[in-house]
Amino acid sequence: METTRLRGNPERIFISVDESTGTSTVSFFPADVGTPIQVEGDKDGQRALKDAKAIVAKYPSCSIHGPHFHAARPPKARPRKRA
């Protein structure tokens, strides 16, 4: 985990996990603090959570939100129309 890529103090760290691809994403608020970090093969979000805790150790004023689990829409799925 490279915390040197951050360009300031993050207020919040968000962890989301795409269960269909097994990819977790660590993103920051405000967004201009750093680019989102994706971790391949992390279906349970534990590696992303470990990385987020390492960032919190360096920036103790920020908080971790997640991991939040979701599944990506299948490639050929059509959006549903609202009634």
pLDDT(4) > 70 = no
Query: 29-79: per-residue pLDDT in tens?
Result: 998 998 999 999 999 999 999 999 999 999 999 999 989 999 877 777 777
pLDDT at 17: 94
Per-residue confidence band for 15, with pLDDT thresholds at 50, 70 and 90: very high
How many domains does one find in the chain? Answer: 1
In a domain, 29, yes or no: yes
Kindly state whether residue 15 falls inside one of the protein's structural domains.
yes
Give the structural domain span for 14: 10-70
Alpha carbons within 13 A on the beta-carbon side of 67: 24
How much is the pLDDT for 3? 52
Residue 80 lies in a domain: no
Q: Is residue 2 part of a domain?
A: no
Whether residue 51 lies inside any domain: the answer is: yes
Q: Is residue 82 part of a domain?
A: no
Pairing of strands 12-18, 63-70: parallel
pTM of the model: 0.79
